[in-house]
Homo-oligomer: A and B are copies of this chain.
Amino acid sequence: MPSYKAPLDDMRFVLNEVLGVANLRAIKDFEMLDDDTINQFLAETAKLAENVLAPLNIKGDQQGCKHDHNAKTVTTPEGFKDAYDQFCAAGLTGFACDPEYGGLGMPQVLNTALSEMCCSANMSFAMYPGLSHGAYHALHVYGTDEQKNFYLPKLVSGEWSGTMCLTEPQCGTDLGLVKTKAEKQGDGSFKITGTKIFISSGEHDLTENILHLVLAKIDDPSTPPGIKGISLFLVPKFLPDASGNPGERNPVFCGRIEEKMGIHGNSTCEMNFDGATGWLVGEPHKGMKAMFVMMNEARLGVGLQGLALSEVAYQNALAYALDRKQGQPIDQKAADAKLDKPAVSILQHPDVRRELLTVKAQAEGARMLAYWVAMQLDISLKDPDEKKRKAAKKCVDLLTPIVKAHMTDNAVDNTNSAMQVFGGHGYIKEHGMEQFNRDARITRLYEGTNGIQALDLIGRKVLKENLMPAYGRQLRADLKAAFRQKVPLYPLASLACYGTRLEARTMYLRARVGIARMLGGKTADKAMRDVGGIATDYLNFMSYVVMGHMWVKMATVANERLAENPEGKSFYQTKIDVAKFYFDHLMPRARTYARLVRKGSGSLMAVSPEAFAHDQTSIGEKSRPAE
């Protein structure tokens, strides 16, 4: 059975030493922060994740959730309810929530560490409180005071949970196609009717009530078509009575739960709204704006799931590699000498090391990235200095698609690599390695496929909002610090070079699209298709630059500590060694993407839709040359 141990040293290194999270105490809301508080919180949460959540992971996969169509209930796997109660009792549902509604008011960056541990231990479980937090956030930003006072304390305490109801059978990415309709009632409420699919935690037995946040179109001729006509509604499973207790059952029911590849412990529901009572959240027709509040948070959370699965898969692959004895070292292959020597641990084999170091370097780089972005999020929300807030927000906006897409693409690859270390045993369920891969696979898909992330990055964040220059300045500043400090990484120059190429290409793309749009017509069309054609390659190129950047940040601090404090030597030396591995073996992947971002859509669009199929234009008897 797989196991999980929270990588506390690595977390503390990033939180305390690289980011200096305790410095957030300069912000009024975070005055209580210091390293001891942070370390204590990490240690306590680690215990819950390791001892309560992790042991339920494989069982959750085996049992899955059970839907009783007649009773209209969904039962979560054995032990989930009890674990959820412990999670709530520890105050973790409200960890980063507003103290005004009962939350602990801790920064997002620490909530990120909390989520990482829970997702590593049991991703299916962690999704239940995770989605509630998205609902909390949307209500906190867009709800009326009355709504907030009434609902938020229940979400913060974890007594009630929340969902995001966006997707319908005919629409996923393109929410303009939403059909669910909302009919206004005399009392200001709405009757919501429609079918939503893929609703994570849509129905379950962990909480006494569930608050659905639902995108729907108001059934009124004045509603604009497409995404500009979408509104957000709050639809509780039980309509609360005046004292806030769950009352009458609202007609919103789980139609079925999906049979999925993984995350079996989380209920993915089709939800049928049969004239269910709901209330508008925010302004009419401004639902997409509110939805994006949930969505951006969710995207960072999904990236984090990717990191979490990479980490736990790594831990188990390493344990196996240390334990499994097979073959002789490649440098002692003299045929006769080997015959009666005992086999060595497979970690001795360079190719196994390459596989493991790839996962390790990507997991640690991803942690640095996720925590850094989360800390920028805290600054963007709370720093007293408006300039700092704005700068931090730009950073978060630009990097959100990178966190989501790169960390989840890596998660699929990393969990595959970790399985590969197990050889054939990796394919057998009891080792749990294949579950990590199946669970990881959803992360590339939900909250916007990674293709959509790529379009968001290049279309909105880079071309429209021009967020690259600010990031480029940060990269150069960190590189300068590393050079000044003589960080012993010979390939720093290569990162500087890739960074420059990325910025230069970005400037070119903006100029080209700008001019093409002025010219209009076919020139503009072609320019935009080219942008679409390279979107994923652009995201990948930038991802390797950003991950290299994260390793520079870590190596710089490790280098400083090595000089200051010889006691910690081997930990810090390893950080520098793994940074070297990253630059040696992973950074060169940027070479390919640096080339690919110079392509366009020519060879993509040259193949006609008919020609995609093999047998549309048969070469059959007729066209084959005669014998």
User: Residues of A at under 8 Å CB distance from B?
Assistant: 5, 7-10, 12-13, 16-17, 34-35, 167, 170-174, 176-177, 198, 224-226, 228, 258-262, 315, 318, 321-322, 325-327, 330-333, 338-340, 343, 345, 347, 349-357, 360, 412, 416, 419-420, 423-430, 434, 437-438, 441-442, 444-446, 449-451, 454-455, 459, 524-526, 528-529, 531-533, 535-536, 561, 564-565, 567-568, 570-574, 577-578, 580-581, 584-585, 588-589, 591-592, 595-596, 599, 601-607, 609-620, 622-625, 627
Contacts and interface: CB of A to CB of B under 8 A. Distances in A.
Given A351-B536, A424-B446, A585-B603, 20 more contacts: A9-B614, A9-B615, A173-B423, A177-B326, A260-B434, A262-B427, A331-B524, A354-B533, A356-B612, A357-B607, A416-B444, A420-B451, A424-B445, A427-B442, A427-B445, A568-B619, A568-B622, A568-B623, A570-B617, A584-B602
23 contacts: A9-B620, A16-B624, A34-B627, A35-B627, A173-B327, A228-B339, A258-B428, A259-B429, A261-B427, A261-B434, A261-B437, A315-B614, A322-B609, A333-B528, A354-B604, A356-B612, A419-B445, A568-B617, A568-B624, A580-B603, A581-B606, A584-B603, A588-B592
A569 to B, nearest CB: 8
B8 A615 contact: yes
Q: What 8 A-B pairs come out closest when comparing CB atoms?
A: A568-B623, A350-B532, A331-B525, A261-B434, A226-B339, A574-B611, A330-B532, A350-B533
A444 B568 CA distance: 40
A313 to B, nearest CB: 14
A613 B349 CA distance: 17
Contacts of A599: 584-585
Contacts of A7: 614-615
A58 B171 CA distance: 26
A343 B167 contact: no
B565 A172 contact: no
Interface centre among A261, A322, A356 (most CB of B within 10 A): A261
Contacts of A622: 567-568
A445 to B, nearest CB: 5
Contacts of A430: 259
Contacts of A228: 339
B174 A12 contact: no
A192 to B, nearest CB: 22
B353 A607 contact: yes
A176 B339 contact: yes
